[in-house]
Copies of this chain bind each other. A is one copy, B any other.
Amino acid sequence: MIDRDRFPVDPWRLVETEFSLDDVGVTETIFAVGNGYLGLRGNHPEGRHALEHGTFINGFHEVFPIRHAEQAFGFAETGQTIVNAPDAKVMRVYVDDEPLAFDVADVREYERVLDFRTGVLTRHVRWMTPSGKDVVIDFDRMVSFEEKHLAVMRVTVTVLNADAPVTVNCQLINRQDGEDVYGGTPKPHAAAGFDPRKTEKFHERVLQPQEYWQDGLRSALAYRVAESGMTLALVADHVIETENEYSARTLVEPDIAKNVFRVQAKAGVPVTVTKLVSYHTSRGVPARELVDRGRRTLDRVLGEGVHTPFERQAAWCEAFWQRSDVQIGGRDDLQQATRWCLFQLAQAAARADSLGVSAKGVSGSGYSGHYFWDTEIYVLPFLAYTTPQWARNALRMRYLMLPAARRRAAMLNEAGALFPWRTINGEEASAYYAAGTAQYHINADVSFALAKYVRATDDTEFLYREGVDIAVETARLWATLGFWRFTENGDPETFHIHGVTGPDEYTTVVNDNLFTNVMARFNLRFAARTVREMAADAPDEYVAMLDRLSLDPAEADAWDAAAEAMHIPYSEALGIHPQDAVFLEREVWDLENTPRSQRPLLLNFHPLVIYRYQVLKQADVVLALFLQGNHFTPIEKLNDFEYYDPLTTGDSTLSAVVQAILAAEVGYQELAEHYFEQSIFVDLGDLHHNASDGVHVASAGGVWTALVSGFGGMRDHYGELSFDPRLPAGWDSLAYTLHWRGTQLKVSLTADELSIAAGEGEDVELSVRGTAYTAVAGQTLTVPLDGQGPVIAGRPTLGMLAESRRDDGSRLSASVPTSTATTAIPTIDDGLSPVETVADVRAPDDHDSGR
């Protein structure tokens, strides 16, 4: 699926050996650099050919009123979209006043490398100019992980065979509003004849100039976003290093600043221009103040030396890999892709600080820069186990959103807080409630992530001061959203939650969605337990919390009662958990006879049609089997997996990682690998044809979880660490690092044994396949393994429903869904489907249902 001539395998680097205009959008994404706050797409510094000249700053957004074709009470009102910030990436090189233009240039050498150890994007070009000059151009670009606001770009030009005038033209460009005469690239959406950001939603000018100036080699542009009022300043400084003679010229206008260096280059004498750029943004501070901040940033950085940021970047990366690397023995191809994914997580989360991690991180404008549950369910496990501070930062984002979430709950007629399905500023931004607001499970997802973080870190300080507010307010929502059914005697019997949408957006607004119910149950219990633990452990904080939240401790009893009585749909006849109250009443979608041209379903069928069938966009029950795995028996997991796997289209990139984890657990080991490869190459192989929109950050996070929990078999239910490994047959080993309550655990897995080397700190209690062990600090625990769990070949098929495969009574042979008994039951190849199964899938941008 990847052209290995052009992108050769390299365990520590993503390497491109050949320039191409064919997939410029994809390479902009996979070569993007960022730090979670600031992101620069992998545009070439020439500033020409691009799908999107992208510079994205986490949370830097514009707002607009959402206009519904038909309005109704409570529909989301505030549209939000990330704004493409002014572009500082352009550093154009001219030799003899000829520009380097890839579409026509005679390029003799080309290599572009994203190096995961240095944290730098480099590009090496050797160019024979039309007048015969043999020129080497080396370009470096980084966004500092240490200095949140800093990006550094550096170009070195050497004319090898002659003296020649060399020009390096460094620019800052506001492409959002300025007339783009510099790159010749059409603005996004403009071609479609309907640019929602221009023609109706937005102020004529999104970025309103506040300041623009130059001083020596320093340039600055500053703006205010028309409607959101956010401010932005970028300040750039330039350092030229050469033994050639040169002169510098400048130009500044509201939408462009140029620093141009004209060099009389001698043959073989290099010229290096380094451009340091600081981006500062704010929701309230005037742009002028941000300019000052930018100047201070640059002063400080330059004080340490113009190239020092590159050294610090490498050191930062070394530390990152020290605590975060996952090693796959014997599979360099997977190793490379794994590290690329983990590096993306760093690029999306490292400096997100108390902003969120958006669906695309800072690598693209897909999903309008919105935060979804992706952060909590897909990214946070990696953060909590490798760099807990990042996890805490991400959770604080939700804490800061609580006021808006309380208002939203009230608007939806419930108590407590309801987090938005998609947002930047905390307000619900989903314009399609059925696959948006109806996903109440976001509340439980946030609480689940909070609990995971707290258990992995023991950070009760955060829990008791801020986290508890999240736990309580989300539980309160469940308590009023759900309702009791009573026995004929009038005793409360079961607790139900109606009218919600689960993770699988191919059915919406259902009753008793299994995922929602089990996660809400967790949420209720977690809140109740937290309240009680606070009462015992932290009486002062407890009293303050009761007051702050106007909490009656009896509420916790009600939460426990609701959790205890939570209705969990189960079909005795089939021995499986229905996805919702009437899921099994639906017809089964005939996926086998759905032509490839009609995939993904959401782009080819009206929602009313899709919703009518048993067909899944992404794992739903199966995700519950993982997240709440301690509440399901192994046979239940196997039955459920076998039922849902053939119904799951994987039209969302959030699906394959989950299917991989459960496939590994229940024994479909080959299938688990298959799903894993669909996840790990989702962007590098552009498997869903939308990598150009930005990195699939949630999928990247899921890759870590698939490795650690899927193949590594790690679970942490109730804060108890356990391992039940499933090393794929073709892998020599799997090694990863966990941080468990301050102790670093280096876990290493082979076919025969699991070893856990504990670092400094407390001893760690854990279990391996049901046997308890203690990983003593400073020692290595080695547990021999007898195989890698059950092994089932092929993949489940719908046909299995009609078979009596087991005699344990959990599945009755005749009890197939009546709707499919005599209609043709579609079957899927018994062997693994080729990866092209999803290769034709294109998820649309900007749709709740699109991932």
Contacts and interface: CB of A to CB of B under 8 A. Distances in A.
Contacts of A786: none
A847 interface: yes
A484 B69 contact: no
Interface in A472-501: 483-488, 490, 492-493, 496, 498-499
Interface stretch (A55-63, A140-148, A430-438, A756-764): A430-438
A792 interface: no
Contact of A432 (B69, B437, B822): B69
Given A606-B74, A608-B499, A582 B486 contact: no
Nearest to A604: B73
Contacts of A823: 484
A818 B66 contact: no
A416 B499 CA distance: 32
Interface string A59-83: 0000000111111111100010000
Interface string A426-449: 000011111011100000000000
A617 to B, nearest CB: 13
A411 interface: yes
B818 A74 contact: no
A413 B72 contact: no
B606 A411 contact: yes
Contacts of A486: 818-819, 821-822
Contacts of A585: 496, 498, 511, 581
Interface in A156-212: 199-200
Interface string A406-431: 00000111000000000000000011
B69 A822 contact: no
Scoring A433, A846, A849 by chain B CB atoms within 10 A of each residue's CB, the highest score goes to A433
Contacts of A582: 511, 581-582
A682 interface: no
A833 B582 CA distance: 38
Contacts of A484: 819, 823
A213 interface: no
A312 interface: no
A608 B73 contact: no
Scoring A587, A611, A814 by chain B CB atoms within 10 A of each residue's CB, the highest score goes to A587
Given A411-B606, A433-B607, A509-B509, A822 B490 contact: yes
Contact of A818 (B493, B822, B849): B493
Nearest to A821: B486
A823 B71 CA distance: 33
Given A490-B821, A608-B509, A814-B488, A498 B433 contact: no
B72 A509 contact: no
Contact of A70 (B411, B431, B493, B496): B431
Contacts of A411: 606
Contacts of A602: 72-73
Contacts of A609: 74, 412-413, 499
A356 B822 CA distance: 44
What is the count of identical protomers in the complex?
2
A292 B587 CA distance: 59
Scoring A199, A432, A488, A612 by chain B CB atoms within 10 A of each residue's CB, the highest score goes to A612
A432 B72 contact: yes
Contact of A69 (B74, B431, B819): B431
Contacts of A430: 70
A586 interface: yes
B483 A606 contact: no
B488 A606 contact: no
Contacts of A847: 70-72
A200 B814 CA distance: 58
A605 interface: yes
A498 B587 contact: yes
Contacts of A434: 434
Given A606-B433, A821-B490, A587 B66 contact: no
A603 interface: yes
A640 interface: no
Given A493-B818, A847-B72, A498 B413 contact: no
A848 interface: yes
Given A608-B509, A819-B484, A586 B72 contact: no
Nearest to A494: B818
Interface in A739-757: none
Nearest to A846: B70
Given A581-B582, A602-B72, A483 B587 contact: yes
A137 to B, nearest CB: 43
Contacts of A487: 818
Contact of A606 (B73, B485, B493, B818): B73
Contacts of A490: 821-822
Contacts of A438: 608
Contacts of A581: 582, 585
Contacts of A509: 509, 608, 611
B483 A819 contact: yes
A294 to B, nearest CB: 36
B412 A606 contact: yes
A612 B498 contact: yes
A437 B67 CA distance: 20
Nearest to A586: B498
Nearest to A491: B822
A69 B66 contact: yes
A69 B68 contact: yes
A660 to B, nearest CB: 28
Contacts of A822: 486, 490, 492
A72 B490 CA distance: 45
A490 B849 CA distance: 36
A498 B614 CA distance: 12
Closest 7 CB pairs of A and B: A74-B606, A69-B431, A70-B432, A499-B612, A490-B822, A70-B431, A485-B818
Given A70-B848, A496-B585, 6 more contacts: A72-B847, A72-B849, A412-B609, A438-B608, A486-B821, A509-B611
24 contacts: A68-B68, A69-B431, A70-B436, A70-B846, A73-B602, A73-B604, A74-B606, A74-B609, A199-B200, A412-B606, A413-B606, A413-B609, A433-B607, A433-B608, A437-B608, A483-B587, A484-B823, A485-B818, A485-B819, A492-B822, A493-B818, A499-B608, A509-B611, A511-B582
